[in-house]
Amino acid sequence: MAKGELTHGIRNIAAQLDVSLAGVGDPGPRLVSACVRKVEAWLDELGPAETFEELIEIVAAKLRVHFEVIRSDADVRAIAGRYLKAGETGFATLATTFDNFTDAAVVRLQKAPTWSDRKYVAVIDARGAKASKEWFSKWHELAHLIAEPQMKLAFRRTQATRRDPVERLMDQIAAELAFYPKLLLPALEDFGVDLSAPKLTKLQTFQNSALNFASLHATLIAVLRHSPVPAVLIEARMSLKKSEKQALKQGSLFDLGTPEQKLRAITTAHNPAAVKHKLFIHQWIRVPERSVIHRLYLGEACEFQPVREDLSWWISDGKALPPRKVVAEAMIAGTGRVLALITKP
């Protein structure tokens, strides 16, 4: 959420959380903290939570949320049929709700008795590539109910592309709770992860062992937030520039023919230390051919091998980034996808 983006939806959430936004530039941190305090009060009442799984069970129980997870097309029909049989008409359109752009849907039950432990059903799409987002999608839906307890909607769905300020706030809340620091930091210490010298290979092993229910990408972002080392996490794929993709979408003509895809930084995540030290790599920037990221993509370099590089190799809009020594590590993360960690040595 951009600083100062005090929309009606954000103000409404602040009112429900009883949080003052007077004199606040970016309301996000204050609202996230209010939601965490709310959850911690529930943990005092129903906890403690010693694992991430126990944490989500306690929060879901407090909110009276039941999760249904779609792992096949048949699951959609089965879930809808089961609830329709119970008279829950909110599931009538479930079969047409999920597409490539919808991650989840929440239905408020109409027939459940007041004493039932289920008030809401959160249906999570975990088919195909969405499987890695299941953990975060669950927390995103819980975030809505934590932050908006007075929400009256009987049916709501979450789009994969979230531009609305409220949806981006929910992502911030979900990111904090899905990787709750009071559980994450001890787990990192027990596993021997040195946050003062983060290594991609160690972090991947940690995720596989301790957080295999979450995606590697989300786990890396969460962990690096706690590192004092300036770090940028890059997801690289072959792609057009953002402006080129937009031009093609609008049917614009190119004088020199259709543009060629290049290996680009599709996403870039900067930890607080990187922001503080102004270590910045633009999204959509082309990955330099001499970088280990590009060479690994071509099969000409080894995974997890730290390589000293310079940011001046990166060119954005015809201009090189300011010279700066960095260390780059990279790994293959699926077909045609490279994850890379850029840190300040």
Euclidean distance between CA atoms 307 and 98, whole angstroms: 43
Percent of the chain with pLDDT over 70: 92
Q: Classify strands 65-70 and 120-125 as parallel, antiparallel or unpaired.
A: parallel
pLDDT tens digits, residue range 37-59? 999 999 999 989 999 999 999 99
Q: Which amino acid is at 31?
A: L
Taking CA atoms, 245 is separated from 101, 228, 258, 308, in Å, by 18, 36, 10, 32
Euclidean distance between CA atoms 271 and 221, whole angstroms: 8
Mean pLDDT of 259-280: 94
Domain limits, the chain: 8-178, 181-343
Euclidean distance between CA atoms 103 and 123, whole angstroms: 9
Which of 46, 32, 26 shows the shortest CA–CA distance to 178?
32
**Residues in Cβ contact with 9 at an 8 Å cutoff, skipping those fewer than 6 apart:** 164, 165, 166
Mean pLDDT of 60-85: 95
Q: Are 105 and 98 in contact, with CB atoms under 8 Å apart?
A: yes
pLDDT at 1 (0 to 100): 47
pLDDT at 161 (0 to 100): 65
Tell me the whole-structure pTM to 2 decimals. Answer: 0.89
3-state SS assignment for residue 232: strand
Q: Which helix (H) or strand (E) holds 330?
A: strand 325-332
In which band, very low, low, confident or very high, does the pLDDT at 162 lie, cut at 50, 70 and 90? low
Taking CA atoms, 328 is separated from 262, 291, 296, 304, 322, in Å, by 19, 8, 11, 9, 16
What average pLDDT is seen over the chain?
91
Query: DSSP readout, 170-185?
Result: HHHHHHHHHT-HHHHH
pLDDT at 157 (0 to 100): 66
pLDDT tens digits, residue range 219-269? 999 999 999 999 999 999 999 887 777 777 766 655 556 778 999 999 999
